[in-house]
Amino acid sequence: MDSSVKRRQVNKTEKLRFEDVKEEQSNVVSALYNPRKALSLSQQRALLPAAKRRGDVLKALEKHRSLVVMGSTGSGKTTQIPQFLMEAGWCDGDRAVLVTEPRRVAAVAAAERVAAEVGSTVGEEVGVAIRFDNRTSTKTRLVFSTEGTALRSMMSNPLLSRYSVVMVDEAHERSVTCDLLLGLLKKVQQRRSDLRIIVCSATINADEFVTFLGEDQTAIVNIEGKSYPVDVSYLKSPCKDYLEESLNIVVDIHRNSKPSSGSILIFLSSSEECEELTSRVTETLGRHVVAVPLYASLPYDQQIEALEPAPPNRRKVVAATNVAETSLSIDGVAFVVDTLHAKLKSFSSQEHVSSLSLVPISKASATQRAGRAGRTRPGQCFRCCTVSDFSQLSETTPPEIQRVSLNGAILQLKSFGVDNIMNFQFPSAPPVEVVAQALEELYNLGAIDDDGILTDDIGMRMAEIPLEPDYARCLVASEAFGCTEEVSEIFGMVQSSTLLISASASRERRLFEAVREPYAVAEGDLLTYLNMFRAYKSNGYSSSWCSSKRFNGKGFKQARRIAHNLKKYVDRKKSDSSLQKERLDTRIRRALCTGLFHKAAFVSPNGSYTSLLSSLSFNHVPLRMHPTSVLFDRYPKCVVYAEAVETANKYMRNITVVEATWLVDVAPALYENKRKRALMELEEGHEKLSGRP
């Protein structure tokens, strides 16, 4: 055995068991590529671990208002529990059962599977309701939906009156939407004692849901899968470079076991690391292995390649990001190498700056990652840290609601009539200062009044629009300025922006700029997007035109669909004739100013930018134009930006040139008084700047 293997201490005290998911599709891709034929559907159903718990689930719901189901994906709970409920009469009369999933593919896959099992097709007894794909009818009794669509459907049906049971699947992932949904469901249950709530969660998080739903009225059912053991080993001494260490481990595994013993999956934190490790593994082990990267922004055909089984007599090595932890599963993995790191989003509410930082993962995540080795056979997991370092990791990842901007979440709660946010029972309370900041910004946007109540003309409408509050405010403002069409198209493009340029071109900076250059305008990135969309439109929305310009047809198609959807929320006839004297591009930029004024910045003599809201604080950090902006190197005096990100510096992205006076027009309370002096100082600064070469 290689010396570096001996260096590692194999710790057999920690044996994990994970379910066999052969019987169930946990994602669409494997469903498409591994159609199963051998067993009949009813035979397969009977073999699922969930079948053994049928009686327990139904009994629990007779006696309790809520149920927490423990067990990870693959036990059959997603597809079987809804059918148990239907068979037991929970869908009799006009009643129905709602099941929510965090991701679209999961909702569609579950609906298709269940429809097949009941001998029907999606849209009849079993339906799916996700954005841009609603296949439900009056006959539908089981509705599979994303969390986002379920929440939105509560806007028109706040008591969910049709549903006897709501099942929140994969609740341990704890998205903001999931937390809002759970909080609202608990409120609905206070009004509707007949409503049953089922929360499905990984074992480690089950307790917190029981506490949240009320211990005295919540039952617990554990659905264990058929499982294979996973041996977990740790390093004897800490490693300095986890990339280097993971390469060594891969080499050890490869040299000490046959290729047929299974594929190796390495968890890394970024696409860049995945690419690097892939090429280093190939360099080191040559033709004996097929090493491939796997991350979400990888082109579709390369993702499929990563998920396919290994060719005969060669070992497959997949270097993946978090996408392989929950969204995609790879068949035939027997070894997991975990670097125990990930990029996590954090947000500074004061500065509107979000950043992605490299952090150690939680024990819960590490358990989930290890489980990827034991899906179809006994597996091994190698963690790139010592046992004692591992014990220092936090138990679970903080829920998203404690890490992100809450403007959107609070706007939605207000639209559900939750006027006192501080009294709302969140599964996990968000930071008070982030809530306060969100309330202040919603007030400044005109979405809530002095009493914190949603305004009819602005706030109510913003809540209906499927965009972040800032963007939704721009869209509402576009009516008066007579540019609803243009602003809808701009935000369709912004939402799809990462998909717009073909993958090969977007990796090369010069090519990226060349592709966009013919459409670039001096008014900034958002108007450049509009210009691109118009060209697409005047060429008949043609995908071959997209490819001829090295644009990504899929991205433009999505932009078109979102733009089309957004237009339904605005009324182009509402334009204010007194505002129509100005040029169209000016009116568009004024509409954008109306929603984005919190994110305005003024140029400083040294060429950096100062955010107007932080300009009075002593420790403000200057902002820079992101090098991908069409305005890079052009130093316009005053801009608004759609987003700020922090990496090596703080950068503004998706920038629009505006006039400072427009800011005072749209947000007098904010800019006229207390910021006026700062504005003037900045103005003077600019006078000096304009003398520069």
Partner DNA sequence: GAGCACTGC
Cβ–Cβ under 8 Å, residues 232 and 370: yes
With binding defined as CB under 7 A, does residue 407 bind DNA? no
Between 397 and 478, name the residue whose CB sits nearer to DNA.
397
Report the amino acid identity of residue 109.
A
Q: How far is the CB of 629 from DNA (least distance, A)?
A: 8
Between 612 and 631, name the residue whose CB sits nearer to DNA.
631
With binding defined as CB under 7 A, does residue 295 bind DNA? yes
Q: How far is the CB of 228 from DNA (least distance, A)?
A: 26
With binding defined as CB under 7 A, does residue 617 bind DNA? no
Between 310 and 463, name the residue whose CB sits nearer to DNA.
463
With binding defined as CB under 7 A, does residue 516 bind DNA? no
Among 48-56, 339-347, 361-369, 481-489, which window interacts with DNA (CB under 7 A)? 339-347
Residue 267's DSSP bridge partners are 320, 338
Cβ–Cβ under 8 Å, residues 177 and 207: no
With binding defined as CB under 7 A, does residue 459 bind DNA? no
With binding defined as CB under 7 A, does residue 349 bind DNA? no
Cβ–Cβ under 8 Å, residues 481 and 588: yes
158: tokens are 């706040």
Among 239-247, 292-300, 520-528, 684-692, which window interacts with DNA (CB under 7 A)? 292-300
Q: Which residue has the tokens 């969910």?
A: 160
Q: How far is the CB of 221 from DNA (least distance, A)?
A: 27
106: part of which helix (H) or strand (E)?
A: helix 104-117
Q: How far is the CB of 674 from DNA (least distance, A)?
A: 32
| Cα–Cα distance, 323 to 596 (Å, whole number) | 32
Q: How far is the CB of 678 from DNA (least distance, A)?
A: 26
136: tokens are 């439900």
With binding defined as CB under 7 A, does residue 626 bind DNA? yes
CB atoms within 10 A of CB 606: 10
Residue 601's DSSP bridge partners are 611, 639
Between 378 and 466, name the residue whose CB sits nearer to DNA.
466
Q: Which of 383, 335, 326, 394 is nearest to 360 (CA)?
A: 394
Among 185-193, 336-344, 477-485, 516-524, which window interacts with DNA (CB under 7 A)? 336-344
| Cα–Cα distance, 612 to 145 (Å, whole number) | 41
Residues 6+ apart with CB under 8 A from 143: 96, 97, 98, 99, 127, 128, 129, 136
Q: What share of the chain is helix, strand, coil (3-state, %, to 5)?
A: 45, 20, 35
With binding defined as CB under 7 A, does residue 152 bind DNA? yes
With binding defined as CB under 7 A, does residue 414 bind DNA? no
- Beta strand ranges found along 171-262 (DSSP E): 196-201, 218-222, 227-235
Q: How far is CA 253 from CA 130, 145, 206, 382, in A?
A: 42, 41, 35, 10
With binding defined as CB under 7 A, does residue 637 bind DNA? no
Residue numbers 537-576 binding DNA by CB under 7 A: none
Q: Which of 463, 538, 536 is nearest to 493 (CA)?
A: 536
With binding defined as CB under 7 A, does residue 648 bind DNA? yes
| Cα–Cα distance, 342 to 339 (Å, whole number) | 9
Between 204 and 511, name the residue whose CB sits nearer to DNA.
511
Out of 443, 512, 545, 569, the residue judged to bind DNA by CB under 7 A: 512
**293 three-class SS:** strand
Three-state SS annotation for 351-380: CCEEEEEEEECCHHHHHHHHHCCCCCCCEE
Between 124 and 513, name the residue whose CB sits nearer to DNA.
513
With binding defined as CB under 7 A, does residue 297 bind DNA? yes
Q: How far is the CB of 67 from DNA (least distance, A)?
A: 24
| Cα–Cα distance, 384 to 376 (Å, whole number) | 24
| Cα–Cα distance, 578 to 88 (Å, whole number) | 63
Out of 8, 64, 103, 590, the residue judged to bind DNA by CB under 7 A: 103
State the greatest distance between any 2 C-alpha atoms of the chain, in Å, as a whole number.
82
Residue numbers 105-134 binding DNA by CB under 7 A: 105, 130-131
Q: How far is the CB of 146 from DNA (least distance, A)?
A: 4
Between 466 and 685, name the residue whose CB sits nearer to DNA.
466
Q: How far is the CB of 169 from DNA (least distance, A)?
A: 13
Between 80 and 322, name the residue whose CB sits nearer to DNA.
322
With binding defined as CB under 7 A, does residue 467 bind DNA? yes
Among 1-9, 382-390, 542-550, 621-629, which window interacts with DNA (CB under 7 A)? 621-629
Out of 8, 53, 64, 104, the residue judged to bind DNA by CB under 7 A: 104
Among 48-56, 332-340, 626-634, 683-691, which window interacts with DNA (CB under 7 A)? 626-634
Q: CA Rg, the chain, in Å?
A: 27
| Cα–Cα distance, 383 to 613 (Å, whole number) | 44
Out of 231, 468, 489, 643, the residue judged to bind DNA by CB under 7 A: 468
Between 433 and 508, name the residue whose CB sits nearer to DNA.
508
With binding defined as CB under 7 A, does residue 97 bind DNA? no
Phi first, then psi, for residue 418 (nearest 5°) are -85, 90
**How far from chain centre, in Å, is Cα 599?**
23
- By rule CB under 7 A, what count of residues binds DNA? 46
Residue numbers 482-511 binding DNA by CB under 7 A: 495, 498, 507, 509
Among 44-52, 213-221, 461-469, 679-687, which window interacts with DNA (CB under 7 A)? 461-469
Binding mask 256-285 for DNA (x = CB under 7 A): -------------xxxx-------------
| Cα–Cα distance, 636 to 603 (Å, whole number) | 7
| Measured CA angle at 567 (ends 561, 570), to 5 deg | 160
| Cα–Cα distance, 589 to 538 (Å, whole number) | 22
With binding defined as CB under 7 A, does residue 464 bind DNA? no
581: part of which helix (H) or strand (E)?
A: none
| Cα–Cα distance, 295 to 228 (Å, whole number) | 26
Between 38 and 648, name the residue whose CB sits nearer to DNA.
648
Q: How far is the CB of 470 from DNA (least distance, A)?
A: 12
Q: Which of 594, 599, 586 is nearest to 527 (CA)?
A: 586
With binding defined as CB under 7 A, does residue 429 bind DNA? no
Binding mask 212-251 for DNA (x = CB under 7 A): ----------------------------------------
Q: How far is the CB of 134 from DNA (least distance, A)?
A: 10
**Which stretches of the chain bind DNA, using CB under 7 A?**
102-105, 130-131, 146-149, 152, 175, 269-272, 295-297, 321-323, 327, 342-345, 356, 408, 466-468, 495, 498, 507, 509, 512-513, 626-628, 632, 647-649, 651
